[in-house]
């Protein structure tokens, strides 16, 4: 089974070590369940960094029917008035990043225990060519690798994202650029990282105005997930 919709919220978070136990309890016991019961939300998963080369310790995915569910009035009301526990934890984030993505290419299959994640900023003049190459050539080849189960291309929708930023009381960043994520589902973190590094390694991205050194790659292990 592929993703359960065409939209996805992706978040990256960190907290101070002395808050980490409560942060994980909040995420597992309240936050995931609260989100998957919102209109349009289908499934959520959260991950922890699996190696020292991964820059942000925690990331999570929230699948929605369409990306516009991430700017729906009911969800905006929730962001503007979080639960007491959410307010306590979120006020102490030491790192937070939030992307509201359209699932542009979906070659996923089932649920795996590890994920590789590639973050990149595509050249606006070559997005179509890069998307076509990923859809038709690179991601099918990634999925054929040993211990890799699936892969997907996620494209951040700034219009939807900005609605959420404002609802949560944040200012819209002045230096916004469209960011893409490539998600690799694998059975082990090592397989996930290996596939992600191969996907964008060498001169693979050169025809699209990018280089392998201009992307961020992480490897993660699944912590918890839930769905309707």
Q: For the chain, give the percent of residues with pLDDT over 90.
A: 86
Task: Please name each of the domains of the chain with its CATH number.
Answer: 7-227 (3.30.70.100)
Under DSSP, is residue 51 helix (H, G, I), strand (E, B) or coil? Answer: coil
pLDDT at 174: 79
For 148-202, what is each residue's pLDDT tens digit? Answer: 999 999 999 998 988 877 777 778 877 888 999 999 999 999 999 999 999 999 9
| Of 64 and 169, more confident | 64
For 29-63, what is each residue's pLDDT tens digit? Answer: 999 999 999 999 999 999 999 999 999 999 999 99
Among 48, 10, 5, residue whose Cα is nearest residue 28: 48
For 98-132, what is each residue's pLDDT tens digit? Answer: 999 999 999 999 999 999 999 999 999 999 999 99
Q: How many CA atoms lie within 13 A of 27 on its CB side?
A: 26
pLDDT at 15: 99
Q: For the chain, give the percent of residues with pLDDT over 70.
A: 100
Predicted confidence (pLDDT) at residue 228 exceeds the cutoff of 90: no
Q: Report how far residue 118's alpha carbon sits from residue 124's, in angstroms, rounded to the nearest whole number.
A: 18
Kindly report the pTM of this predicted structure.
Answer: 0.94
DSSP 20: H
pLDDT at 1: 63
């Amino acid at each position: 089974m592929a993703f359960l919709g065409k939209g996805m919220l992706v978040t990256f978070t960190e907290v101070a070590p002395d808050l980490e136990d409560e942060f994980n309890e909040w995420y597992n016991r309240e936050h995931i369940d609260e989100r998957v019961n919102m209109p349009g939300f289908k499934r959520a998963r959260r991950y922890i960094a699996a190696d020292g080369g991964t820059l942000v310790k925690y990331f999570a995915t929230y699948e929605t029917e369409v990306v516009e569910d991430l700017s729906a009035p009911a969800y905006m009301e929730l962001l503007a008035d979080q639960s007491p526990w959410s307010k306590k934890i979120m006020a102490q984030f030491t790192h937070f990043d939030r992307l509201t993505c359209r699932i542009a290419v979906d070659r996923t299959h089932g649920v795996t225990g590890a994920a590789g994640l590639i973050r990149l900023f595509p050249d606006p003049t070559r997005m179509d060519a890069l998307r076509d190459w990923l859809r038709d050539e690179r991601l099918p080849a990634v999925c054929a690798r040993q211990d890799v189960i699936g892969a997907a291309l996620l494209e951040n929708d700034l219009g939807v994202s900005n609605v959420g930023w404002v609802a949560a009381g944040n200012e819209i960043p002045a230096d916004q650029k469209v960011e893409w994520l490539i998600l690799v589902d694998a059975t082990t973190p090592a397989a996930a990282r290996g596939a992600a590094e191969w996907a964008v390694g060498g001169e693979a991205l050169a025809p699209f105005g990018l280089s392998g050194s201009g992307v961020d790659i992480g490897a993660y292990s699944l912590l918890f997930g839930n769905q309707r």
